[in-house]
Chains A and B, each alone.
Chain A
Amino acid sequence: MSINNLYSQKVLEHFQHPHNMGVIKNPSGVGRVGNPVCGDLMELQIKIEKNPSADGGKDIIADAKFQTFGCGAAIATSSIMTDLIIGKTLEEAQTITNQAVIKALGGLPPVKRHCSVLAEEALAKALADYISKK
């Protein structure tokens, strides 16, 4: 029986070869959510820069990195979240919901949906952290 009965191919890809794993030197914002006692802890770091080429020079998320203690779904949602936000303006990033994360991963088992909520919360917290420090 294929493991895809448990997780989609996309989830497994991100789980085995996560994108943007690690930390950023002098991040503009940090969002740490979850708790190891609950079984998942996610830390998302973002680097905000003025977009040099774009019209009006809007702030964009130039880089994002994550570190996660958690199950396969928690690692995959963190990884895909970094993919979804890099290059986005702050306004665009703020509209990314957990549903977008689930969609980008080709679905999540119902019992793992909360991992996508965690990723959404990590992003919100990182953005709030940046805005509060500005």
Chain B
Amino acid sequence: MKVYLDYAATSPVKKEVLDAMLPFLTSGFGNPSSIHEWGRIARSAIDESRQSVAKFLNCEPSEIIFTSGGTESDNLAISGLISKQFSKPHIITSAIEHHAVLNACKYLEKNNLAEVTYLKLNRDGIIDITDVKKAIKENTILVSIMYVNNEIGTVQPIREIGKMIERINELRMQNAELKTKNSKILNSELSNSKIYFHTDAVQATEYQNMNVEYLHVDMLTISGHKIGTPKGIGALYVKKGTPLMAMMHGGEQENGKRAGTENVAGIVGLAKAIDLIRIKNHELRITELRDYFINKIIKEIPATELNGSREFRSPNNVNIYFQYVEGESVLLNLDLVGIAASTGSACASSSLEPSHVITAVYHDAERAHGSIRFTLGHETTKKEIDYTVSQLKTIIRRLRKISPLKAKMDDESPK
């Protein structure tokens, strides 16, 4: 039996997506910048796709920039935001962001281009809105908080953070007016520059509310290959008026914000994948399957714990801490019986660093080493879950037998 439970890493291309893309790889191969018929066909396909994505996000088509994927979108949002007012602007982000956000922030920090606050999380892996508020300084120009965490599946209160930032921006504008009338009024907390709010919604696209107006965000990242397109296509929503500078220089594509001949087939595929989410939602079935999976593991395998909030959790994410065993050896055993999952253990990463997400939430590197992520997709069945749990039982028991840590366990019988 082959069981793929790593949909958060990547997903198979959906048939409808491939069918929609194929004409633009063959007869409709034109360059959208060309005036001739081939070019016009490609141009109109991009226009239609942009409208479709905009409809899904409830924004204007002109507010969509197509990119090569999540990493590029995150980098563009963070490094591309311009501050005319501050030589060293301040950015607020969280300790559990994807590396595309974290390392973009660290790059700016290292090169003295920005100062960055990395917010801590509560024990459930959720950000406290008051922590965001408290971190805001006079020179804060950007808050970047991910919508759904890719490792532990926690869903952050994006709408609430967005609304809070909006209120602060209103206060700042009022204060700016007062300042011009009365130069004596000065409040270091309230400068007259706007704070922009970006969210990496790569893991949220399928199951969360993606209405940018509802969310009160200025920028939002999406990636195609997590929702059934080939790798290499993504988008960044940028609210009109957001001062964003291009990171890729060249032609005038994407309104001058992202040079390079458009990935026409990819763009068409992204729009199709998004249409499919609008038409058919699998949320309920996947959520039920997820809960069945979590409950079964916790019940049948002793000394296991769920990582991340149970309540504010993505429908497709199961992340379990198996005490006394190391993640890479679990993955290897799972692989040998045809099951694909992923781990936060350092021993499975080329950097030999344990998961920054689990260590940030639980302050426990040992927990990161023993944690395994399973992410479900449309094709996941109950039979696959049953097979996985039965294999896990054997694997964990065997590895605990080898482990010198298991002596700590009082009782090896199923609880």
| Residue positions of A touching B, CB distance < 8 A | 3, 7, 12, 15-16, 18, 21, 32, 36-43, 67-75, 111
- The interface bits of chain B over 325-359 (1 if a CB of A lies within 8 angstroms of the residue's CB, else 0) are 11011001101100000000111101010100000
Of the residues A38, A41, A70, contact of B329 by C-beta under 8 Å = A70
A72 smallest CB distance to B (angstroms): 4
9 A–B contact pairs at CB < 8 A? A3-B336, A16-B333, A36-B366, A39-B354, A41-B405, A68-B404, A69-B402, A71-B328, A74-B329
Of the residues B324, B348, B369, B402, contact of A75 by C-beta under 8 Å = B402
A67 smallest CB distance to B (angstroms): 4
What bracket does the count of chain B residues touching chain A fall in? 20 to 34
Q: Which residues of B contact A38 (CB under 8 A)?
A: 346, 365
Closest B residue to A36 using CB positions: B366
B3 smallest CB distance to A (angstroms): 16
Sample of 4 more A-B contacts, CB < 8 Å, known A39-B346, A68-B402, A69-B404: A37-B366, A39-B352, A40-B326, A41-B403
Q: Which residues of B contact A69 (CB under 8 A)?
A: 324-326, 402-405
B44 smallest CB distance to A (angstroms): 40
Contact A68 B403 (CB under 8 A): yes
Give the number of residue pairs across the A-B interface with Cβ within 8 Å.
Answer: 71
Taking the complex as formed, is B240 at the interface, i.e. its CB lies under 8 A from any CB of chain A?
no
A73 to B354, alpha carbons, bound, how many Å? 17
Contact B347 A43 (CB under 8 A): no
* Residues 365 to 415 of chain B near chain A (Cβ within 8 Å): 365-366, 369, 401-405
Q: Which residues of A contact B354 (CB under 8 A)?
A: 39
Q: Which residues of A contact B350 (CB under 8 A)?
A: 111
Of the listed residues A16, A39, A74, A75, the one surrounded by the most CB atoms of chain B closer than 10 A to its CB is A39
Contact B345 A71 (CB under 8 A): yes
Contact A71 B326 (CB under 8 A): yes
Check A75/B329 contact, CB under 8 A, given A39-B354, A41-B404, A68-B403.
Answer: yes
B192 smallest CB distance to A (angstroms): 47
B390 smallest CB distance to A (angstroms): 18
Of the listed residues A18, A21, A38, A70, the one surrounded by the most CB atoms of chain B closer than 10 A to its CB is A70
Contact B329 A15 (CB under 8 A): yes
Q: Which residues of B contact A37 (CB under 8 A)?
A: 365-366
A133 to B369, alpha carbons, bound, how many Å? 35
Closest A residue to B352 using CB positions: A111
Contact B404 A39 (CB under 8 A): no
A67 to B406, alpha carbons, bound, how many Å? 10
A41 to B325, alpha carbons, bound, how many Å? 10
Contact B403 A67 (CB under 8 A): yes
Contact B332 A15 (CB under 8 A): yes
A40 to B324, alpha carbons, bound, how many Å? 11
A36 to B328, alpha carbons, bound, how many Å? 13
Q: Which residues of B contact A67 (CB under 8 A)?
A: 402-404
Q: Which residues of A contact B405 (CB under 8 A)?
A: 36, 41, 69
A74 to B348, alpha carbons, bound, how many Å? 12
Contact B402 A18 (CB under 8 A): yes
Contact A39 B347 (CB under 8 A): yes
Closest A residue to B335 using CB positions: A3
A38 to B354, alpha carbons, bound, how many Å? 8
Contact B347 A74 (CB under 8 A): yes
A18 to B329, alpha carbons, bound, how many Å? 13
Contact A16 B336 (CB under 8 A): yes
Q: Which residues of B contact A32 (CB under 8 A)?
A: 404
Q: Which residues of A contact B366 (CB under 8 A)?
A: 36-37
- The interface bits of chain B over 111-125 (1 if a CB of A lies within 8 angstroms of the residue's CB, else 0) are 000000000000000
A1 to B328, alpha carbons, bound, how many Å? 18
Closest B residue to A115 using CB positions: B347
A75 to B398, alpha carbons, bound, how many Å? 12
Closest B residue to A114 using CB positions: B352
Closest A residue to B351 using CB positions: A111
A3 to B337, alpha carbons, bound, how many Å? 11
Of the listed residues B324, B332, B333, the one surrounded by the most CB atoms of chain A closer than 10 A to its CB is B332
Q: Which residues of A contact B347 (CB under 8 A)?
A: 39-40, 70-71, 73-74
A124 smallest CB distance to B (angstroms): 18
Closest A residue to B326 using CB positions: A70
Contact A43 B404 (CB under 8 A): yes
